[in-house]
Amino acid sequence: MNHLSDELLNEYLDNALSNRASVEEHLAQCMDCAARLTALQTLFAEIESLPEVTLSRDLAAPVMLKIKGASLSPRWLTLTIVLQTALALIAIIITAPLVKQFAASSVSVLQPPSLTEVFIRLQSQWVLWLDMLSQLRMPVMPEIPIIEVSSLYFLLTLAGVSMVWLVGNGLLLRNQIKQ
Amino acid sequence: MSDLLRLFFVIAFLTLGLAAYFLVVSTLFPNRVARTKSAIQSTPARSFGIGLVNFVFFAVIAIALFSGAEKSGPFIKTLLTIPALLITALLATMLSFGLAGMTSLIGERILPELTSWRQSILGTVCLCFACAPPFVGWFLLFPYAGLVGIGAFILGLFQREPKS
């Protein structure tokens, strides 16, 4: 006798079979297949009874962001960008002679700083920065106070703090330690 | 004005250093930082309580030991200073892990779409500048963040590994 496949049993459980009668007939005769079906039913029941687990990190936001980023820009936007680029190029070509003329008259007035001047300025700025940083005062660490207490008070304080520590940790970590 | 500028530089350099520090801590001990972060996320009030109780205890012990060492002779001084330094180091370690988890969580909540290392840097920058304002930053926000961090680190020690 040919046994039913796992796929067929799953489809039977999902009510996705057209010939349920033949499967039921086989299940009535075959103990092995009936046992497999019961095992599958138990497994699905256990899976459904499991509690809902929330993810520690929600991935929806980053994934949606990636999808949005990957989507193509609309056609009108692409056309506008192309048109703007073309207009900008035409404007540059038209105004180029005027800009050249203006630049020629201005350059004669403007004297670019020499390399030495630039170095000197950079150096003076660097010295200023160093000077400013050298004046930085790091916070002074507080001195440990020398507590003048008698040995009895000292021991009592220690005992008190230890009690608070033990009780506090005992109460707050109770559930964790039990687990 | 120059004082303000100096203060800004101090905070900026501190932020830069701390961002790198927390990033390295998160990279070297990812599980520990993740557990701390999870504890801050799930039980912030309990973390604060545990942090407060433990900080007070260890700080008192450390101060008492340092104070005792100051008044003692050279041998006793060494004997008391070593445990005092160890306790201080323990507190600093707990604070480091706690704040590393805290910065990571802050970054994640502000911009969840960023990668984890960027979130850590963002969290550090936000926390540093948020703790810079006088009084509210120094005496409210920083102690709160520090104590929650310490408590969450301790809680994280008791968390069990999820069953695979």
Distance between terminal CA atoms of chain B? 59
Res. A82: pLDDT tops 90: no
The rounded distance, in Å, linking the Cα atoms of B40 and A57 is: 14
pLDDT at A147: 59
At A146-167, the pLDDT tens digits run 656 677 777 888 888 888 888 8
Burial state string for B96-125 with b = 16 or more CB within 10 A and e = fewer than 16: bbbbbbbbbbbbbeeeeeeebeebbbbbbb
Q: Work out the mean pLDDT of chain A and round it to a whole number.
A: 80
Helices (H) and strands (E) in chain A, counts: 8, 0
Res. A71: pLDDT tops 60: no
At B41-85, the pLDDT tens digits run 999 999 999 999 999 999 989 988 888 888 888 888 888 899 999
Chain A hits for B61, CB-CB cut-off 8 Å, are 158, 161
Q: Show the tokens assigned to A163.
A: 């009690």
Residues 47-106, chain A, touching B (beta carbon < 8 A): 56-58, 61-62, 65
Q: How confident is the model at residue B164 (pLDDT cuts 50, 70, 90)?
A: very low
Span A129-151, average pLDDT: 70
Cα→Cα distances A129→A133, B3, B11, Å: 6, 14, 17
* Sequence spans of domains, chain B: 2-157
Of the residues B13, B37, B67, B115, the best mutation for testing chain A's interface (the one with the most A CB atoms within 10 Å of its CB) is B67
At A94-118, the pLDDT tens digits run 888 888 887 777 666 666 678 888 8
The rounded distance, in Å, linking the Cα atoms of A172 and B140 is: 22
Span B3-28, average pLDDT: 88
The rounded distance, in Å, linking the Cα atoms of B118 and A103 is: 45
State how far residue B147 is from chain A, nearest Cα, in angstroms: 14
Q: Among partner residues B53, B71, B159, which is closest to A169 by beta-carbon distance?
A: B53
The rounded distance, in Å, linking the Cα atoms of B104 and B115 is: 10
Is residue B115 a contact partner of residue B11, using CB atoms and an 8 Å limit?
A: no
Residue found by looking up tokens 């301790």 in the block? B154
Weakest mean pLDDT among A96-100, B99-103, B128-132: A96-100
pLDDT at A72: 56
Q: Angle of helix A6-13 relative to helix A31-49, nearest 10 degrees?
A: 60
Res. A8: pLDDT tops 90: no
Cβ contact A173–B50 (<8 Å)? yes
How many percent of chain B have pLDDT more than 70? 96
pLDDT at A28: 87
Res. A70: pLDDT tops 80: no
B159 versus A179: the higher-pLDDT residue is: B159
Q: Angle of helix B44-71 relative to helix B30-42, nearest 10 degrees?
A: 120
Residues 9-38, chain B, touching A (beta carbon < 8 A): 9-10, 38
Burial state string for B22-39 with b = 16 or more CB within 10 A and e = fewer than 16: bbebbeeeeebbbbbbbb
Q: How confident is the model at residue B98 (pLDDT cuts 50, 70, 90)?
A: very high
Distance between terminal CA atoms of chain A? 51
Is residue A131 a contact partner of residue B30, using CB atoms and an 8 Å limit?
A: no
Chain B hits for A179, CB-CB cut-off 8 Å, are 158, 160
A43 versus A61: the higher-pLDDT residue is: A43
Own/partner long-range contacts of A27-35 (Cβ < 8 Å, ≥24 apart): A29/A1, A30/A1, A30/A3, A30/A4, A32/A3, A33/A3, A33/A4, A33/A9
Cβ contact A157–B60 (<8 Å)? yes
